[in-house]
């Protein structure tokens, strides 16, 4: 990728995705969503990458959806081109084959929190505030704020943010399970790198399979995760090699049920 609005830095087995739209507090528009999707494809295709980190440039993590980008849309375009497309991109982030860590270096409000919720691990800086202010604008959460967030954090916490407009400090968010660790101002990325090294030191196949299993247990990705696990198991058998060889030779397969 060459677009300066989203950079990918590679440090050994770790990919660092940095949103760089500082003039808009790293808010997301359609172009930014497309860049995020392309970044996911790029790092997923690189077998050397074992962990990914998502962060913002400057003082902001991400202001979420750029209001100016969607305010003039028709209801139909808003639902299809904005909400549904954003859902697909965030789902792509959440289902990366490798663990994703969010280094939350600025406030995570609305779409910014929905973005952070795609990560497996969240590390917030001490000055960060976390909330879901959409209803104060006459809008509802649109990028899984009532769905993925409720499943990961508990519906009651999300009710308090969405219905009551409560905004939590980093320490409060830690106590509520919204983030996994709190770092000093300016230290989230380094803390994320340290945690990424911890993950990268473990068996990469076991980490990838465990992430799939956790997705199944939480009901987040049942269909795709089950088929991915099944395909991995089938690919590790002598039957697959025999089946492919028989197909190429146009002969009947002699399956033996062997595991490699």
Is 134 marked active-site?
yes
User: 227 an active-site residue?
Assistant: no
* Rounded-to-integer distance, Cα 56 and Cα 60, Å: 6
Residues 6+ apart with CB under 8 A from 195: 101, 121, 123, 181
In Å, how far are 115, 169, 181 from 73, measured between CA atoms?
22, 33, 38
Instruction: Out of 11, 42, 125, 134, pick the active-site residue.
Output: 134
List the structure tokens of 180: 């996994």
Order of strands across the sheet that contains 181-183 = 6-11, 14-19, 51-56, 100-104, 121-125, 181-183
Between CA 120 and CA 199 the distance in angstroms is 11
The answer to whether the CB of 122 falls within 8 A of the CB of 116 is yes
Cα–Cα–Cα angle for 235, 238, 244, rounded to 5 degrees: 75
Which residue of the set 91, 114, 125, 220 is catalytic? 114
List all residues 6 or more positions away from 50 whose beta carbon is below 8 Å from its beta carbon: 13, 14, 98, 199, 200, 204, 207
Three-state secondary structure call for residue 157? helix
Active-site positions? 114, 134
């Amino acid at each position: 990728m060459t677009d300066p609005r989203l950079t990918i830095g590679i440090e050994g087995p770790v990919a660092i995705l940095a949103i760089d739209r500082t003039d808009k507090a790293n808010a997301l528009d359609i172009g930014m969503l497309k860049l995020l999707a392309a970044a996911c494809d790029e790092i997923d295709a690189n077998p050397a990458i074992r962990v990914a980190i998502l962060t913002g440039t400057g003082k902001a993590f991400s202001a979420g959806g750029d209001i100016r980008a969607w305010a003039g849309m028709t209801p139909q375009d808003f639902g299809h081109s904005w909400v549904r497309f954003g859902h697909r991109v965030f789902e792509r982030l959440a289902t990366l084959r490798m663990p994703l860590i969010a280094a939350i270096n600025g406030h995570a409000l609305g779409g910014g929190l929905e973005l952070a919720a795609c990560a497996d691990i969240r590390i917030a800086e001490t000055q960060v505030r976390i909330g879901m202010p959409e209803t104060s604008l006459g809008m509802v959460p649109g990028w899984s704020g009532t769905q993925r967030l409720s499943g990961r954090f508990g519906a009651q916490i999300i009710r308090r943010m969405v219905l009551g407009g409560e905004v939590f400090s980093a320490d409060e968010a830690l106590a509520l399970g919204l983030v996994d660790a709190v770092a000093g101002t300016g230290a989230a990325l380094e803390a994320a790198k340290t945690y990424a090294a911890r993950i990268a030191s473990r068996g990469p196949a076991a980490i990838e399979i465990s992430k799939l299993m956790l997705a199944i247990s939480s009901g987040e990705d049942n269909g795709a995760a089950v088929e991915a696990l099944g395909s991995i198991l089938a690919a590790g058998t002598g039957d697959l090699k025999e089946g492919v060889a028989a197909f190429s030779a146009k002969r009947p397969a002699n399956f033996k049920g062997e595991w490699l």
